[in-house]
Structure 1
């Protein structure tokens, strides 16, 4: 006997309450195994792959892609005994392709479609041969809707006198006996003529009027994505011509937008474009929503203080060049950010008070004796801050590997909630965007964040002479409840000292 099991959306981590179905990896009818990845969900923090807890055949996908559902909601149904015989009467909800429909017994004299038509006062439905297609037993065929071709009348029979309005949708249609075999027709309906002197196209512009155009013109409008109702007609009797459609398309293309939603903006894919194409509205959810909430809470809860430092990093650039040629680092991506991260870890060791958090509920300061170094990463889904666990224990090469793995995972959208939890201090590398510096907002639950600016060649006084040196700017934002100006300044000064002379790390390390 078939056994249907529903898989409910689990909590992907840290008490999340909802998630969006990002992509299904299975379809109805697929055979799945236990722990096979069946769906990718997007939580408020990351993309997570969910494995199947059952083995069997997928019978229903209960939630469509793009929908957001709460934890505990059934999302998929799996038949764990697909080879078993079905019970009499069938298993309810086995296919889930739509609501159950009562099918008329083909041996019965009653015809449901004809009965329904008779109840509504309509004539019986035409035969299958007249309908021009095959029919399912017991369903019959539906009569095609009666449509009338628009007629044009004018005063004294002159077509140039004005265009006739199309017949209203609720025109009185009555049974007719005109002609053998005719099932229905329409009595003549008076059509008001246009006022004398009306301009061509006025009829089509009247409220409730339908644009008039020949079939080839309508096809051209569909192919070009042009709404015929918005086209100004110039043809006789208010007909939209091919030239009208092309002119309307050319005018629309000429109106350039300040920003164009192209392929380089994938975040617009889930948005709704306004009819005039001038706006796109994208729901705020998942990572972007979580980031917004966290930044607002941080900015208006923790009193921020930012200190700045401009430093000559020429020796750091020379060290980076040497490491890139070193055999131990040839398979590792070495950047100035790696040296900045090591410098911050050394500064935290010398000033452990900066590695702390504020517990508002308990009214306590929590000093942490480990460093989970966060790196802010910009992704198409929004800003995420994964962290390298126990970064204080890593040597320079292992730290470089950790940075590379962290950023690659973040950009692929595969960062797990665990990778973004329990951070203690963060670096944001604004220099990759060519920005000198900024005033970064603290990652919630942390006491400090370092902004690493762009490195530029510029005149600098070195050993009493003006020379071209590599210079960058650093900015350190701190929670002033935990870190006063003196402590923040000492931490930033230590980071700058290592970047100015990496050999200083040997003294402090």
Structure 2
């Protein structure tokens, strides 16, 4: 039977290694293609990664906390439960032992098997070769099946029934485990482990009661004297010689609290800094800017939001993202990768969106085929990125990146291109500005859009056309 290795995936063009911070499945679990199997920490964020195939997870090849290079095998997946490694060493007695690899091997032995262990020969199980082959394929031990055929012969229906019972039992166990599992983001789980917080004791305030990073931080004991049980468990050598001064007691927790998130933010900042330094050295940037007329877009959005519940209302960034994706589709010189000394345009628009994380730093998830997504789908992905609930496919291969700092009050931003991409678009704060039209003064909503582009691939003519097309698309927001 085929045995495949599940390897550390590449979660970005510049990713070289990753650290497994949590396994979301256990050996013996059947996983389908697309099921989440592990949480991986890169230099930028923690992401859940999914299986690329169907099969049974046979064993882990790396431990939690191990950092390995991209492409390194981290788990082994087999086609059926029958290929799992033995759960226990074989019996040393001369009696034939039950197949420890079979999910049914844990059952109590029948009287016939007890007789075999006492030294009496075990009667042979009657089953045709095709039936035995089917049993092996499904991971079923025919020795534990009561046959319904002539003379107690095991037939195909018996094997299929036993396999169905095994899968039903596994599904029940999985459902029970899922019920006990606390809903939380990978970031919240990692932070809880570092701070010694039991997620079972934390009340979640996130969607559907999920535990968030803020919930974990709120569950940490208040500053000052630690809980009594922690004092009792502390080794005598760690006990202070005298009571610390009030100033020291106040300062110590303040320095320790941001360690978990602060350390990650510092690592992220170093990784981003190294990449941006490379970008400025290798890419000849040119910059353009224009003021977008958002009067029509804001009026349409406000009217649409009156028909929506508060939780699903649109924001200006959703319209800006969709207009950018459509413009990139029409101006392909700004959408693609510069690798091996040549530009390779992309036929698809995977829009990278620079999102500020709660613990600090930035991450750029990719909105695949963004020109075909609805405004609601664009809004949802940005929300999940901020909560640390991204999947591998949502971080891979953005073809052009957008950064929007308008929420922070920034009026214009000139970004640094994210290699191997060839363009970065920036949006500033939406403001009410005075304007003149046919000799009349008025007020309109507007925002500054900027473009940082690679002069090896495009020039001011193409860049100017790209920004102008974004502005044109925003004049017909109902078509976005």
Q: Provide the C-alpha distance between the structure 1 equivalents of 2:416 and 2:424, rounded to a whole number of angstroms.
A: 7
Which residue among 305, 322, 326 is the counterpart of 1:342? 322
1:374 aligned residue: 352
2:367 aligned residue: 388
1:503 aligned residue: 476
Q: What CA deviation, in whole Å up to 9, does each residue of 1:144-201 have, x standing for no partner? A: xxxxxxxxxxxxxxxxxxxxxxxxxxxxxxxxxxxxxxxxxxxxxxxxxxxxxxxxxx
Kindly tell me: are residues 350 and 72 of structure 1, through their superposed partners in 2, closer, same or farther at Cα, counting changes over 3 Å?
closer
Q: What CA deviation, in whole Å up to 9, does each residue of 1:288-333 have, x standing for no partner? A: 6654443333222111122222344233211111222357x99854
2:318 aligned counterpart, secondary structure: helix
Matches within 5 A, 1:25-174: 25=24, 32-33=29-30, 39-43=38-42, 47-49=47-49, 64-70=63-69, 72=72, 80-82=85-87, 85-87=90-92
Q: What CA deviation, in whole Å up to 9, does each residue of 1:113-152 have, x standing for no partner? A: xxxxxxxxxxxxxxxxxxxxxxxxxxxxxxxxxxxxxxxx
Kindly tell me: are residues 228 and 465 of structure 1, through their superposed partners in 2, closer, same or farther at Cα, counting changes over 3 Å?
farther
Kindly tell me: are residues 87 and 384 of structure 1, through their superposed partners in 2, closer, same or farther at Cα, counting changes over 3 Å?
farther
Structure 1 residue 449, shift from structure 2 partner: 1.6
1:475 aligned residue: 450
Matched, 1:295 2:276: yes
2:289 aligned counterpart, secondary structure: strand
Q: What CA deviation, in whole Å up to 9, does each residue of 1:385-434 have, x standing for no partner? A: 22222333x2xxx4213313322342343434433333222221111222
Kindly tell me: are residues 415 and 252 of structure 1, through their superposed partners in 2, closer, same or farther at Cα, counting changes over 3 Å?
same
Q: What CA deviation, in whole Å up to 9, does each residue of 1:331-369 have, x standing for no partner? A: 85422122222332443355333334323x2x3332333
Structure 1 residue 478, shift from structure 2 partner: 0.8
2:21 aligned residue: 22
Q: Provide the C-alpha distance between the structure 2 equivalents of 1:463 and 1:349, rounded to a whole number of angstroms.
A: 33
More helix as a share of residues: 2
Which residue among 323, 332, 343 is the counterpart of 2:304? 323
1:348 aligned counterpart, secondary structure: helix
Q: Provide the C-alpha distance between the structure 2 equivalents of 1:427 and 1:401, rounded to a whole number of angstroms.
A: 17
| Farther off after superposition, 62-71 or 297-306 | 62-71
Q: Provide the C-alpha distance between the structure 2 equivalents of 1:228 and 1:346, rounded to a whole number of angstroms.
A: 65
The number of equivalent residue pairs is 334
Kindly tell me: are residues 425 and 412 of structure 1, through their superposed partners in 2, closer, same or farther at Cα, counting changes over 3 Å?
same
The question of whether the paired residues in 1 share the 8 Å contact of 2:50 and 2:392 is answered with no
Matched, 1:491 2:471: no
2:397 aligned residue: 422
Structure 1 residue 282, shift from structure 2 partner: 7.4
The question of whether the paired residues in 1 share the 8 Å contact of 2:58 and 2:76 is answered with no
Q: Provide the C-alpha distance between the structure 1 equivalents of 2:338 and 2:417, rounded to a whole number of angstroms.
A: 12
Which residue among 299, 307, 313 is the counterpart of 2:294? 313
The question of whether the paired residues in 2 share the 8 Å contact of 1:453 and 1:474 is answered with yes
Q: Provide the C-alpha distance between the structure 2 equivalents of 1:381 and 1:9, rounded to a whole number of angstroms.
A: 31
1:437 aligned counterpart, secondary structure: coil
The question of whether the paired residues in 2 share the 8 Å contact of 1:304 and 1:477 is answered with yes
1:376 aligned counterpart, secondary structure: strand
Kindly tell me: are residues 447 and 435 of structure 1, through their superposed partners in 2, closer, same or farther at Cα, counting changes over 3 Å?
same
Q: Provide the C-alpha distance between the structure 1 equivalents of 2:86 and 2:317, rounded to a whole number of angstroms.
A: 55
Q: Provide the C-alpha distance between the structure 2 equivalents of 1:53 and 1:370, rounded to a whole number of angstroms.
A: 28
Higher relative contact order (CA 8 A, sep 6+): 2
2:374 aligned counterpart, secondary structure: helix
Q: What CA deviation, in whole Å up to 9, does each residue of 1:466-504 have, x standing for no partner? A: 5544332221111111121232223223323444xx139
Which structure 2 segments of 5+ residues have no match?
A: 78-82, 94-227
2:261 aligned counterpart, secondary structure: helix
1:364 aligned residue: 342
2:245 aligned residue: 249
Q: Provide the C-alpha distance between the structure 2 equivalents of 1:347 and 1:336, rounded to a whole number of angstroms.
A: 17
The question of whether the paired residues in 1 share the 8 Å contact of 2:411 and 2:447 is answered with yes
Kindly tell me: are residues 464 and 505 of structure 1, through their superposed partners in 2, closer, same or farther at Cα, counting changes over 3 Å?
farther
2:8 aligned counterpart, secondary structure: coil
1:108 aligned residue: none
The question of whether the paired residues in 2 share the 8 Å contact of 1:7 and 1:53 is answered with no
The question of whether the paired residues in 1 share the 8 Å contact of 2:58 and 2:75 is answered with no
The question of whether the paired residues in 2 share the 8 Å contact of 1:55 and 1:80 is answered with no
2:323 aligned counterpart, secondary structure: helix
The question of whether the paired residues in 1 share the 8 Å contact of 2:8 and 2:74 is answered with no
1:358 aligned counterpart, secondary structure: strand
Q: Provide the C-alpha distance between the structure 1 equivalents of 2:49 and 2:330, rounded to a whole number of angstroms.
A: 41
Kindly tell me: are residues 480 and 229 of structure 1, through their superposed partners in 2, closer, same or farther at Cα, counting changes over 3 Å?
same
TM-score by length of 2: 0.55
The question of whether the paired residues in 2 share the 8 Å contact of 1:338 and 1:399 is answered with no
Which structure 1 segments of 5+ residues have no match?
A: 1-5, 89-218, 232-239, 272-280
